[in-house]
Each structure stands twice: as C-alpha cells, then as structure tokens.
Amino acid sequence: MLNDDEARAALLISLQARSVFRGDFTLASGVKSPYYVDCKLTTLDPKGAWLTGQSMHALIRNEQASRNIHVDAVGGLTMGADPIALAVGMVARRMEGVPALQVFSVRKSPKAYGQTKLIEGNFKKGDSVVVIDDVVTRGDSTIAAINAVENEGGRVAFVAVLIDRQEGGRSKIEALGHRVVALFDRSELFGDHAG
C-alpha cells in the first residue's frame, strides 16, 4: 500500500493523464476555458477511486486534527462529489474501523416521491460534515451543497475539494465563513500551462 504522499503523487499523475482535456470549452459557470477537467474519469476508475479516497481522507483528517473539530460525515452535490465521498468513507472504514466517516449525497432538487429528500444517504440533523466537491471554479455547486446541509440542520466543518481552479470560487465560499482546503490547485494540475 502506498503512503499518503505516494498516493497523492500517483493521483496527480492519473488526473493529468485521464481527466485533463485541452481545447475550447464552456464550463458549467458559462465561462470559456482552454482546458476542462473531468474528474469522474479518475474518481470512477477503481485505482483512481482508491487514490482519491486515500488522498482526500488524509487531507480531511489533517485539517480536522489541526482545527481540533469533530466530523460525522462527508458529501456534496451530486454527481461530482459522490464518488469522492464514497471513496473517502471506504478508506476511513478500512483504515480506522468503526466509527468511521458516514457518506451522503445532495440532490440538485428534492425527490418528487417517497420521502422527498434533498439529502440522501447517511446524514442527520446536527451532523458536523465536510462538504466535498471535485472541482471548484466559481463555487456555486459547493455553495448549493452547503446551503442544503445547513437548511437540513447540519453544520459545515469545512469544505474539501479535489481541485481548486483558482478562479474565484474558493474566496466566494470562504467569504461565507467556510474554510476551503484543496488537494490540488490549477498550477499543480497544469504546471507551466496553468494560465
């Protein structure tokens, strides 16, 4: 098994090889970009999922320890956060045993039938959670997940993202009072081509 530094390095290589595309793209925010990052090609790959889970687990536990706070669960807005949250939960279970981190998913709109939930999975009122996202650009998806958690009675301990594109989203989220930690930023992912 790789140590955390080795897993992070291997994950960066995987993201660069599998998930980074260059061209002329319109992002979800409507902004044009010369590159696009499709994290799901890495996070939904079995090896990539394990590397993601181990690396994000280490990031979350390090931030949690440095701030001396409790975390019950991890999750975020479907679909980018889903494989990351599940991978983190599985790594936590394997490395820590019970109790480990629970996992939840925030729908884009409440289910129209059954329990009509906005948040699915293992989340309950009063939980202290880490909101996860795969890529933060403008921050709107992450903020939607934060709002859903808070509206359902949860507390956001902090936000953990796989990639910060460094395009204003982080500062927008932090202006709302939520600390953001990122595993990678644009310069790490793109090197000299980040601009």
Domain ranges of the chain: 4-193
SS3 of 80-125: the string is CCHHHHHHHHHHHHHHHCCCCCEEEEECCCCCCCCCCCCEEECCCC
- Tens of pLDDT along 105-162? 999 887 666 666 899 999 999 999 999 999 999 999 999 999 999 999 999 999 999 9
By CB neighbour count within 10 A (0-12 exposed, 13-18 middle, 19+ buried), where does 156 fall? buried
Residue at 171: amino acid letter = S
| Model pLDDT, residue 58 | 97
Average pLDDT, the chain: 93
30: burial class by Cβ within 10 Å (0-12, 13-18, 19+)? exposed
Q: Indicate the pLDDT class of residue 31, thresholds 50, 70 and 90.
A: confident
Q: What is the pLDDT of residue 111?
A: 66
Query: Quick one: which H or E segment has residue 181?
Result: strand 180-185
Residue 84 in contact with residue 73, Cβ under 8 Å?
A: no
Question: Is CATH 3.30.750.24 the right assignment for the domain spanning 4-193?
Answer: no
Model confidence, pTM? 0.93
Among the listed ranges 24-28, 55-59, 128-132, which one has the minimum average pLDDT value? 24-28
- pLDDT for residue 117: 84
Q: Which of 47 and 194 is assigned the larger pLDDT?
A: 47
- Alpha carbons within 13 A on the beta-carbon side of 114: 6
Asked whether the CA dihedral 112, 116, 121, 127 is positive or negative, the reply is: positive
Distance (Å, rounded) from C-alpha 86 to C-alpha 194?
29
